[in-house]
Structure 1
Amino acid sequence: MEPRSAVAAGRAFPYTARTTCYIEIHRDGRVTHGTDRATYERAVAGESRLYAVWPGNWSSDLFMIDDLDEYAKAHGIKHDVQRTGLADHVHRVRWTESDGDQNPRSPYVDVEVVLDCGCTIESLGVFAAQMREQKGWAVATSVGWSRCSGPEGTTYSLRVRRKSLAA
């Protein structure tokens, strides 16, 4: 049985779903897994082939990752404004600590963020990486976050490591 095409699945292909497992088959026959930049670069260079297992309710399907550009954009290896809502520039950010109960002993604090540069946050992982690089923030990506839009703009609620805000 031949693997299915990720391209044929279209935009519905779950490149970043937690249940999608990537398999890299190297030219020498070794089999590894991962989604890092080195995996992408080996696949682009033809040193390996990349596959993904997409689990379904009753069975799983094997897909050939035949659009490495789309794979790279989904995993933040290549910047994609359309997918992330974030231009590749230094963001103008206003932030305040959230009103409400904050545990003063917690290493993280809830903050309200407004982007004055016109960007929107569609990918918390990409925003977190940009803020780490631009401001030294350690934005939590393993917890929920939210947005609230109104006439004055959009406010995002997220968690940030307290000490990184002071940097």
Structure 2
Amino acid sequence: MEPRSAAAAGRDFPYTSRTTCYIELHTDGRVTHGADRTTYERAVAGESKLYAVWPGQWSSHLFVIDDLNEYAKAHGIKHDVQRTGLAEHAHQVRWTESGGERNPRSPYISIEVSLECGCEIQDIDVFATQMRDQKGWAVATSVGWGSSSGPGGVTYSLRVRRKSLTA
């Protein structure tokens, strides 16, 4: 039985699901696992073939990763504005401290963020990387974040390392 095509599933393929396991078959016969930039680069160079196992409830399915461009976008190797909602530019950010901060000695603080450049946060990891590079912020990515819409646009609720915030 041949592996299924990840490309045929399009953007619905769970490239970044925690349950998707990547298998790399090298041209010399070695088998490794992982999903990083060097895996992608070897596959693009023809030095390996990339597969993914996607477990289902009763069985698992083997897919060939036959759209390396989509794989790279999903894993943040190539920037994808459609997936992230974030252009690659210096964001115009307005932020305020959230009301009701309970512990002034906590290393993290809750803030409300508005993006005045028209971008939307759809991927917190990408936003955190962009803010670290642009403003030196340490945005928490392992805790919940959210958004709300109002007359002034969309506001995002985030946690940020207190010492990294600057006006």
Alignment TM-score, normalising by the size of structure 1? 0.94
Matched, 1:83 2:83: yes
Structure 1 CA distance, aligned partners of 2:85 and 2:8? 25
Q: Does structure 2 retain, via aligned residues, the 8 Å contact 1:102–1:109?
A: no
**Structure 2 contact 101–110 (Cα < 8 Å) conserved:** no
Q: Which runs of 5+ in 2 are unaligned?
A: none
> Are 2:11 and 2:70, in contact at CA under 8 Å, matched by a contact in 1?
no
- Change beyond 3 A, Cα 1:44–1:153: same
Q: Partner of 1:47 in structure 2?
A: 47
Structure 2 counterpart of 1:37: 37
Q: Give the aligned partner of residue 19 of structure 1.
A: 19
* CA displacement, residues 46-99 of structure 1 (integer Å, 9 cap, x when unaligned): 111111111111111111110000011111111111111111101011111211
- Equivalent residue pairs, number: 167
* 1:166 CA displacement: 4.2
Structure 2 length-normalised TM: 0.94
- Considering only aligned residues, what root-mean-square deviation do their CA atoms show, in Å? 1.5
What SS does the aligned partner of 1:134 have? helix
Alignment-mate amino acid for residue 72 of structure 2: A
Match of 1:119 in 2: 119
- Report the alpha carbon displacement of residue 9 of structure 1 after superposing the two structures with TM: 1.6
Supply the distance in 1 between the matched residues of 2:108 and 2:24 (Cα, whole angstroms). 36
Q: CA separation in 2, counterparts of 1:143 and 1:31? A: 35
Q: Does the aligned pair in 2 maintain the 1:102–1:110 contact within 8 Å?
A: no
Q: Counterparts of 2:135 and 2:164 in 1: how far apart (Å)? A: 8
Q: What does residue 142 of structure 2 align with?
A: 142
The one-letter amino acid of 2:18's match is: R
Misfit runs of 4+, over 4 Å: none
Instruction: Work out the percentage of aligned pairs sharing the same amino acid.
Output: 78
Task: Give the match for residue 102 of structure 1.
Answer: 102
Q: Secondary structure at the match of 2:70?
A: helix
Which AA in structure 1 matches 2:124?
Answer: L
Distance of 1:108 and 1:37 partners within structure 2: 31
Q: Secondary structure at the match of 1:128?
A: helix
**Structure 1, unpaired ranges of 5+:** none
**Residue of structure 2 equivalent to 1:131:** 131
Matched letter for residue 54 of structure 1: W
